């Protein structure tokens, strides 16, 4: 499958679909209060799944596509691969009441400078911030169920941005920090602040 100059293999499309589905469930369970809350109020999960599909799904998909498109722009061969163990942990963690979303990564090959690798990594979290900013006015303008979905879109994308900017292991923040500490501080601190606001300053229900 090809979209413009971006090609997707069958395995890649499968991995994207599975990761999208797993994150949809994980975020819905988490925002529904965890496994115990969902057990006593299963209707909450049913109500949250469509919203999570749109908000967490878009956040995940556009994050990874930002990595892929940026890598291709720098002459890389890039494909997304799901981490099925981490997807299981995301769902299990949500049931336990905490969220750890690391569904996989876009792997790219080819010659790239430290700066290019840093920019490829930074593209994902910045896309989540931008998407959260798109949802934000919709939250203010829309009421009822649509406004609630927009609110969820804001919070999920800010959480994704902050989490991925953590300077640890394979996360984007670590790659950005290796490239440029000033860039990490300049972009990372706002991402962490937005994620903290989304996590501690908001209740969906």
Active site residues: 64
The closest alpha carbon to 94, from 177, 176, 30, belongs to: 30
- Here the tokens at position 46 are 């049913």
Which residue shows structure tokens 């990372």?
A: 188
- Here the tokens at position 77 are 């061969």
CB 164 within 8 A of CB 195: no
With b meaning 16 or more CB within 10 Å and e meaning fewer, what string describes 174-201? bbbbebbeeebeebbebbbebbeebeee
- Cα 62 from Cα 68, distance rounded (Å): 10
């Amino acid at each position: 499958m090809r979209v413009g100059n971006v090609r997707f293999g069958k395995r890649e499309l499968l991995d994207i679909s599975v990761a999208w589905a797993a994150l949809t469930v994980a975020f819905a369970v988490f925002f529904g209060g965890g496994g115990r809350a969902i057990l006593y109020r299963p209707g909450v999960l049913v109500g949250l799944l469509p919203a999570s599909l749109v908000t967490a799904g878009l956040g995940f998909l556009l994050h990874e596509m930002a990595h892929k498109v940026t890598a291709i722009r720098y002459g890389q061969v890039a494909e997304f691969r799901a981490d099925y163990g981490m997807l299981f942990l995301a769902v299990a963690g949500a049931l336990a009441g905490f969220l750890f979303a690391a569904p996989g990564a876009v792997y790219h090959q080819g010659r790239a400078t430290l700066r290019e690798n840093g920019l490829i990594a930074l593209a994902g979290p910045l896309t989540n911030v931008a998407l959260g900013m798109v949802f934000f006015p919709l939250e203010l303008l829309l009421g009822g169920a649509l406004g609630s979905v927009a609110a969820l879109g804001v919070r999920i994308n800010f959480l994704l941005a902050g989490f991925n900017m953590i300077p640890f292991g394979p996360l984007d923040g670590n790659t950005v920090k290796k490239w440029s500490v000033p860039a990490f501080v300049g972009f990372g601190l706002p991402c962490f602040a937005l994620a903290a606001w989304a996590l501690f300053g908001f209740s969906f229900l």
